[in-house]
Structure 1
Amino acid sequence: MQATPTSARNKRWFACLLACTALLATRCSGGNVPTRDLGTDIDEVAATLIEQPLLHSTSIAVVYRGKEFIRHRGDMETGKPGPPTDATRYEIGSLSKTLAGTLMANAVLERKLGLDDDVRMYLDGAYPNLEYQGEPLRIRHLLSHTSGLPNMLPERVNTLLADFTDRRTPRDLNAVYAGYGKADFFRDLHAVEIHQSPGKEYAYSSAGTQLVAHILEVVYQRDYESLLRGFLRDAAAMTGARIRLSDAEAHQLAVGYHSDNPVPTTPMPQLPWGASGNVTASVPDMLNYLKFQLAGGPVVTESHRTLARFDAEFSIGYFWNIVSGDRLKGVYYAHHGGVPRSQCYIYILPRYDLGIFVITNQSGDQTAHAMEAAIDTLVERIAARENVGARDLSR
């Protein structure tokens, strides 16, 4: 799930990014290449990030031209000394969607299914509602958030998320999803109404990601989590990514804070498949994910392929936001993740052979903005190292 209403949030996010990077490019245009270690820059960015109101701690992973950095700063709990560590397990929220997209890209390359398949091919029973004026929902529509499905099922959750920072939201989410399983999801899916032609309009949908997980289970005849863990272990050396935790693993889960509540809150409730927002991982796991993304390869290349273009600057791949036209960053791939007690970002910037993952154990209406500023600062400093301002940035 996303931490705020997403269609509006994405518009604000991309507008902010473009404005910020224009300023950064101006400031970088005449600079000299710094000589100090990049790790020092990351330390400074992490320290500045946790100075923001309500932020307790942060972890940052960076891969830059083959060099790897992990930094942890702050204390997980107010008044209790104890920073996050490499063993800390974080809820990565909607970054989980990029993992589902990666699995779907692999399935497409293995010819297990096709992007233009009617999703009803993989559902039991009749779903005449999953079309609009004779045009069915197709797999590509799920991956590009153009299906017209609601953000969350059951639909009453969307009302709760409209006021995400209300202190009652975590409690109310837990109540809705207590005992909510796959049968409940399909019951609610039968009641969905599609009000627009699929493939035309962007409408963020975690429910669509859940449906992707179901389709993967059908074509591989395995449960989604075992598919995910097996692929990530073998392809990306991510051995610790999980959807459901054992008792021992649950003790590693980061404590976190919702909005301005000084009392730690509960984890994100379990969704039927967990593909849209229930993955947990350590920062070393996420560093390996950055390396996997930067290495390219057929699956990554397919997952980054544009499936829907909305304007000259914004398109969608296999759940990846693809941003172009940015003078400093070039074409890059990004995603935000948010649950009631953590938020994070992942950025893949091929221009610099650079991957950045930032996470904090607080989730409020200004958390994403603070992380965006941190990422912009890192990119600015790396661009200065490469003297980007003196080069032709049109490529």
Structure 2
Amino acid sequence: MHVTSMSVRNRRWLSCLLVSAALLAAGCASEKVPAKDLGTEIDDVAATLIQQPLLHSTSIGVVYRGKEFIRHRGDMETGKPGLPTDATLYEIGSLSKTLAGTLMANAVLEHKVSLDDDVRQYLQGDYPNLQYKGEPIRIRHLLSHTSGLPNMLPERANTVLADFTDHRTPGELNAIYAHYGKADFFKDLHAVEIGRAPGKDYAYSSAGTELTAHILETVYKRDYASLLRGYLGDSAAMTGLRLTLSDDEALRLAVGYHSDNPVPTTPMPQLPWGASGNVKATVPEMVKYLRFQLANGPVVKESHRPLVKFDSEFSIGYFWNIVAGDQLKGVYYAHHGGVPRSQCYIYIVPKYDLGIFVITNQSGDQTARAMQTAIDTLVEKIAEREAAANAEAYR
């Protein structure tokens, strides 16, 4: 969804904020040891987050130096007491892309594909349009959002998303994707026009992630859902990931709200492969993902490798945003996810052996910034703990 690119657009604003926060943390950390345990502080951050306008509830998962913390706050439905729980299934939106990136990193290491492969070698039929002046779209361009493909296919979905907060948006998306399958995607892919050389300019593309899933299906000769469950089940013990839900599982799907609409809205419609935004997971499953990322095995390390460096502070790996030059966080890896009734963030911060997953069951134009503030607060508190522990060690 389009809201994922907020993390890129807000990057410089965040850098200024975080430098100030880092200086404050450094000045305060040596004066006192944090009074509260970290679990309580995470709970406090969750409580503060849902005080923001329109936010109903939140769940936060943290892995910090091997310790796990999960906190839930708020009521899922307005006027109906009821916390989210460890069993609640959430739509993680475009965080799904990092899972696709992980599978592609594994495929690269297994020599199933090369980053420089022309994507057309994995397509049936002719696609003379998927190039610009002889330069083809390559797999690395899909992963780094530099392919020149549109955000969504069909193109009319982008018109709907241009006014994301309009109350009609969820229903219009449902109508577009109600009978939109893989054959429709390929038909629309034939009509795409590439207006610039691939590999240079950032242009967020969920269509590129869907094409990535097709390539993975082609080389492994398995459907994407089974590839996802198989690899992450074996490598990260993530056995509960779902692209589609059974009737029983659907009962555990988080209720969610779009924009300022007081009436709960419908789930994200199913995309042809679902790789760009259809994964559902519980918070404990996402905590397993944080552990998997922090372990930094060969596949994770490959997925975090910069494929395109846009400037000294911002790069893209295998769908991961890579941010450098942050005094407080150091180099970190992040992604935002958003669907019409849920938004979330994942942050991997190696400097503190820290992973954070935050999700809300509301999706509006201020939701991402509210979650970023919550994450910044958590990182500040952990930085204070680290500084205090280091000061104590040298006494």
Report the TM-score, using the length of structure 1 for normalisation. Answer: 0.97
CA distance in 2, matches of 1:13, 1:354: 22
Query: Counterpart in 1 of 2:141?
Result: 141
CA distance in 1, matches of 2:385, 2:241: 33
| Residue 196, structure 1, aligned to residue 193, structure 2 | no
CA distance in 2, matches of 1:216, 1:13: 32
Query: Counterpart in 2 of 1:380?
Result: 380
CA distance in 1, matches of 2:313, 2:242: 33
Task: Pick closer, same or farther for the CA change 1:188–1:117 going to 2, 3 Å.
Answer: same
How far has the Cα of 1:15 moved from its partner?
Answer: 1.9
Matches within 5 A, 1:286-301: 286-301=286-301
Amino acid at match of 1:26: L
CA deviations over 1:79-104 (Å, ceiling 9, x no partner): 00000000000000000000000000
Query: Counterpart in 1 of 2:13?
Result: 16
Query: Counterpart in 2 of 1:61?
Result: 61
Contact 2:315 2:323 in 1 (8 A): yes
Task: Pick closer, same or farther for the CA change 1:316–1:388 going to 2, 3 Å.
Answer: farther
CA distance in 1, matches of 2:285, 2:324: 28
How far has the Cα of 1:388 moved from its partner?
Answer: 8.1
Contact 1:30 1:389 in 2 (8 A): no
Q: Which moved more, 1:15-24 or 1:83-92?
A: 15-24
CA distance in 2, matches of 1:378, 1:148: 36
Query: Counterpart in 2 of 1:171?
Result: 171
How far has the Cα of 1:12 moved from its partner?
Answer: 3.1
* Aligned counterpart for 1:26 among listed residues 23, 29, 33: 23
Task: Pick closer, same or farther for the CA change 1:87–1:389 going to 2, 3 Å.
Answer: closer
Query: Counterpart in 2 of 1:96?
Result: 96
CA deviations over 1:173-211 (Å, ceiling 9, x no partner): 000001100000000000000001000100000000000
Contact 2:2 2:151 in 1 (8 A): no
Task: Extract structure 1 runs of 4+ deviating beyond 4 A.
Answer: 388-391
CA distance in 1, matches of 2:275, 2:240: 16
CA deviations over 1:122-157 (Å, ceiling 9, x no partner): 000000000000000000000000000000000011
Contact 1:256 1:265 in 2 (8 A): yes
CA distance in 2, matches of 1:26, 1:284: 33
CA distance in 2, matches of 1:71, 1:228: 26
Q: Secondary structure at the match of 2:151?
A: coil
CA distance in 2, matches of 1:340, 1:3: 10
Q: Secondary structure at the match of 1:29?
A: helix
CA distance in 2, matches of 1:269, 1:195: 29
Contact 1:92 1:344 in 2 (8 A): yes
Query: Counterpart in 1 of 2:347?
Result: 347
How far has the Cα of 1:16 moved from its partner?
Answer: 2.5
Aligned residues: 388
Query: Counterpart in 2 of 1:126?
Result: 126
Contact 1:290 1:356 in 2 (8 A): yes
User: Unaligned stretches of 5+ in structure 1?
Assistant: none
Query: Counterpart in 2 of 1:82?
Result: 82
Q: Secondary structure at the match of 1:284?
A: helix
Q: Secondary structure at the match of 2:150?
A: coil
CA distance in 2, matches of 1:65, 1:253: 30
| Residue 361, structure 1, aligned to residue 361, structure 2 | yes
Report the TM-score, using the length of structure 2 for normalisation. Answer: 0.97
Amino acid at match of 1:78: T
CA deviations over 1:286-333 (Å, ceiling 9, x no partner): 000000000011000000000001000000000000000000000000
Q: Secondary structure at the match of 2:322?
A: strand
How far has the Cα of 1:29 moved from its partner?
Answer: 1.8
- Identical counterparts, % of pairs: 76
CA distance in 2, matches of 1:330, 1:389: 19
Query: Counterpart in 2 of 1:266?
Result: 266
CA distance in 2, matches of 1:388, 1:289: 29
Query: Counterpart in 2 of 1:110?
Result: 110
CA distance in 2, matches of 1:135, 1:175: 36
Q: Which moved more, 1:328-337 or 1:240-249?
A: 240-249
CA distance in 1, matches of 2:145, 2:3: 16
Query: Counterpart in 1 of 2:206?
Result: 206
Q: Which moved more, 1:15-24 or 1:325-334?
A: 15-24
CA distance in 1, matches of 2:223, 2:214: 8
Query: Counterpart in 2 of 1:314?
Result: 314
User: Unaligned stretches of 5+ in structure 2?
Assistant: none
How far has the Cα of 1:13 moved from its partner?
Answer: 1.8
Amino acid at match of 2:70: I
